[in-house]
Structure 1
Amino acid sequence: MASTTITKFSHLQIPLEDVLNATNNFHDDNIIGRGGLGIAYKGQLQRSGKLIKIVALRLNRKQRERDLEFWTEISMLSDLKHTNLVSIIGFSDEKHEKIIVTTHAAKGSLQEHLNSPNLTWTQRLKICVGVARALNYLHYDEGRGYGVIHLNVNSSTILLDENFEAKLSGFKVSIKQSLNRMDQVVLSEPIGTRGYMDPEIEKTKGVTQKSDIYSFGVVLFEILCGRKAFVPKETNRFLAPLARNHYEKETLQGIIYPDLRNHMSPGSLKKYSEVAYSCVKQERGHRPRMVDIMYELEKALEFQLRHENFVSPFCVILVFFFHS
């Protein structure tokens, strides 16, 4: 990596010793997410006399192109600013360790909450809307002049703050692309995490913004079904083809996370499942654009909130009626 790049980001350097202290030497108890490219740890870092909560992403040593991934993420996070993206605090690059330190995610990664009965359908919808807004900003933001293909969207790179608001992270393999070329194939090896990868990569030998759409569709089904995209020992190891099959046979109810079923408005479920299904279509040309996905998910959330506002007062009236 050119020394000019390192100099450009020198103000973000954090001594490795500080990161080790912050994460209790990368203790297993501090792990909040595992992706194909590294492990994320929570911690508390001493900065300018204050103790701040952080997430430290430790890149896998085995990755051959770690250097490029490392500087790509630092460069991306320095440029990109959105309420649903993590913010960079700094990095450490010493003793064969490459660590990226970002803002705290009080609730860890989405992956940890997929099968939690405490994460309500409304909260899940809000998380989806947040990620959709972040991806829409990446794919097309007029003020920036270029688009970003994320290429690592999965439930462990979606972090959650104390209010369960989504913060997308994991920009190590992201690609900058001029806005008028976002649909053109960028030659690339299949990269990312198993279960989320666009099946068209093998065929076309590359990626487009529609590759992110596929990965996001898998996340939408993870959120709906309360299970991971890839479960090694299950008969249906991969969630995407399973969900597609159920949607087409109109038997999706059978794989929805049971704790959610009674709380969903029919309108929000219909809208949500239509969007999720359209994202995981095999052919890229049949997948929607991020801006449309965002609007549809916002509608699904609107339907759900309307349903809750209608149900709650009605229940109060019934309780009052039966008790008086």
Structure 2
Amino acid sequence: MSSLERKFEHLKIRLCDIKLATNNFSETYVIASVDKECTLYRAELHSFDIENPSSEKGKNKGDHPKGHNIVVIKRYPSGNQCFGEEELFTEIEMLSSVEHPNIVTLIGFCIEDSEMILIIENVSNGYLQNYLGNSNNMCILTWEKRLKICIDVANALEHLHSEMEDQKMIIHHDICHFNIGLDENWRAKIDGFWWSVILPPNQEDEAVYIWWRGRSHYIDPEYLKTNKLKRESDVYSFGIVLLEILCGRTAFDPIYLKESDKGLGPVARQSFCTGILEDMIDPILKEETSEYSFVLKRGPNKESLHTFMKIAYQCVAETQVQRPTMKVVVKELEKALSFQVS
């Protein structure tokens, strides 16, 4: 047993309990799949109850939390070149040290018989990936609801970047729609901390020089060129998510790849500069904004939409120095929401 495994032994969950809960990983329980990266199941664990999970503060080792039993089980395939035990324990360590309403709560993990599994709180309304590109699902997400989801994620990132205890800072390093869950109240919660990096106190303006890892359509172009990872790299990735929510499509939708192999980011940046970004917004939002729409006040008003588009454009600036801090992003998104509801 590794030292990290010993450190988090109180969070270990037996493979037999997970197999029992998912009927041996039956497809019936699958709620999402991320290429060859991981498969997500929703199931009820009967071996223990869940309450106050993950945080070691004030918790007796060996005691499992008590409360709701429905959980999300993230199963990582063995032999994955991008993800191994090191990445799994990075995520366990991050989630164990961070408490925020917009960051998922860790329940436990399992490393057994070549299986690597993470168990987190249930996100009843699935992941953002289940909505983008699906017009039936995107119809559920009114403009106001989309704004609130964006604000939730922005608040989580602001917390990681500038509100952590002991003045340390976390760079998430993999913000994308795969890592944004939605709970029963449509509150957004981020996970996917496997590549995250902690910077010690008073180094918020410093960079980590690390060989780039990430999804090509979300990756900071400056980081891609220089291997210089900064919190502004998270800002860029979040900007891509803002644009996805605006346009209702994934960043790598073929419609964008026809124009740029980098996907939505460069296409939207060019469209903003030429004044035609509004033409790219989700047709569902356009219908809801139409004067002929029977559903009143579901679509974005002009001030709200333009405030949103401007901050999204600033987030995906090509260089790190041009991008806003997450504090500024939160402020602008809240302004967009206030324009919408007032």
Contact 2:239 2:313 in 1 (8 A): yes
Q: 1:253 aligns with which of 278, 285, 291?
A: 278
| Whole-angstrom CA distance in 2 between matches of 1:214 and 1:36 | 25
Tell whether 2:23 aligns with 1:24. Answer: yes
CA distance 1:260–1:47, shift in 2 (3 Å): farther
SS in structure 2 of the partner of residue 296 of structure 1: helix
Contact 1:149 1:212 in 2 (8 A): yes
SS in structure 2 of the partner of residue 57 of structure 1: strand
CA distance 1:45–1:144, shift in 2 (3 Å): farther
Letter of the 2:92 partner, please give it.
I
- Offset of residue 166 of structure 1: 0.2
The count of corresponding residues between Structure 1 and Structure 2 is: 305
- Which runs of structure 1 show a deviation greater than 4 angstroms over 4 or more consecutive aligned residues? none
Measured against aligned partners, the alpha-carbon deviations of 1:135-179 in whole angstroms (never above 9, x if no partner) come to 000111153431000011100100000111001111111001024
| Whole-angstrom CA distance in 1 between matches of 2:33 and 2:202 | 34
Letter of the 1:281 partner, please give it.
A
Tell whether 2:301 aligns with 1:265. Answer: yes
Letter of the 2:115 partner, please give it.
E
Measured against aligned partners, the alpha-carbon deviations of 1:182-240 in whole angstroms (never above 9, x if no partner) come to 33221222212231111112322231101100000000000000000113585145111
| Map of 1:152 onto structure 2 | 174
Contact 1:45 1:51 in 2 (8 A): no
| Whole-angstrom CA distance in 2 between matches of 1:173 and 1:36 | 17
Identity among equivalent positions (%) equals: 39
Q: 2:265 aligns with which of 222, 228, 240?
A: 240
Stretches of structure 1 lacking an aligned partner (at least 5 in a row): 307-324
Contact 1:272 1:297 in 2 (8 A): yes
SS in structure 2 of the partner of residue 32 of structure 1: strand
Instruction: Kindly report which structure 2 residues correspond to 1:241-320, keeping only aligned pairs within 5 A, or say none.
Output: 241-261=266-286, 262=289, 263-306=299-342
- Offset of residue 51 of structure 1: 6.7
| Whole-angstrom CA distance in 2 between matches of 1:275 and 1:164 | 22
| Map of 2:42 onto structure 1 | 42
Question: Could you say what the CA RMSD is over the residues aligned between the two structures, in angstroms?
Answer: 1.9
- Offset of residue 65 of structure 1: 5.2
| Whole-angstrom CA distance in 1 between matches of 2:336 and 2:35 | 29
SS in structure 1 of the partner of residue 126 of structure 2: coil
| Whole-angstrom CA distance in 2 between matches of 1:121 and 1:177 | 35
Instruction: Kindly report which structure 2 residues correspond to 1:123-202, keeping only aligned pairs within 5 A, or say none.
Output: 123-202=145-224
Contact 2:106 2:121 in 1 (8 A): yes
Q: What TM-score comes out, normalization by structure 1 length? A: 0.89
- Offset of residue 35 of structure 1: 6.4
| Map of 2:105 onto structure 1 | 87
Q: 1:221 aligns with which of 243, 249, 252?
A: 243
Letter of the 2:337 partner, please give it.
L
Letter of the 1:191 partner, please give it.
R
Letter of the 2:146 partner, please give it.
R
Letter of the 1:79 partner, please give it.
S
| Map of 1:15 onto structure 2 | 14
Contact 1:221 1:243 in 2 (8 A): yes
Contact 1:155 1:219 in 2 (8 A): yes
CA distance 1:224–1:179, shift in 2 (3 Å): farther
CA distance 1:60–1:232, shift in 2 (3 Å): farther
Q: What TM-score comes out, normalization by structure 2 length? A: 0.84
| Whole-angstrom CA distance in 1 between matches of 2:82 and 2:272 | 39
Letter of the 1:71 partner, please give it.
F
- Offset of residue 37 of structure 1: 4.1
Stretches of structure 2 lacking an aligned partner (at least 5 in a row): 50-66, 290-298
| Map of 2:60 onto structure 1 | none
CA distance 1:35–1:145, shift in 2 (3 Å): farther
| Whole-angstrom CA distance in 1 between matches of 2:70 and 2:142 | 26
Q: 2:86 aligns with which of 68, 85, 88?
A: 68
Contact 2:17 2:47 in 1 (8 A): no
| Whole-angstrom CA distance in 1 between matches of 2:177 and 2:82 | 24
Contact 2:167 2:202 in 1 (8 A): no
Instruction: Kindly report which structure 2 residues correspond to 1:103-114, keeping only aligned pairs within 5 A, or say none.
Output: 103-114=121-132
SS in structure 2 of the partner of residue 42 of structure 1: strand
- Offset of residue 249 of structure 1: 0.8
Further displaced range: 211-220 or 189-198: 189-198
Contact 2:160 2:171 in 1 (8 A): yes
Contact 2:239 2:315 in 1 (8 A): yes
Contact 1:35 1:157 in 2 (8 A): no
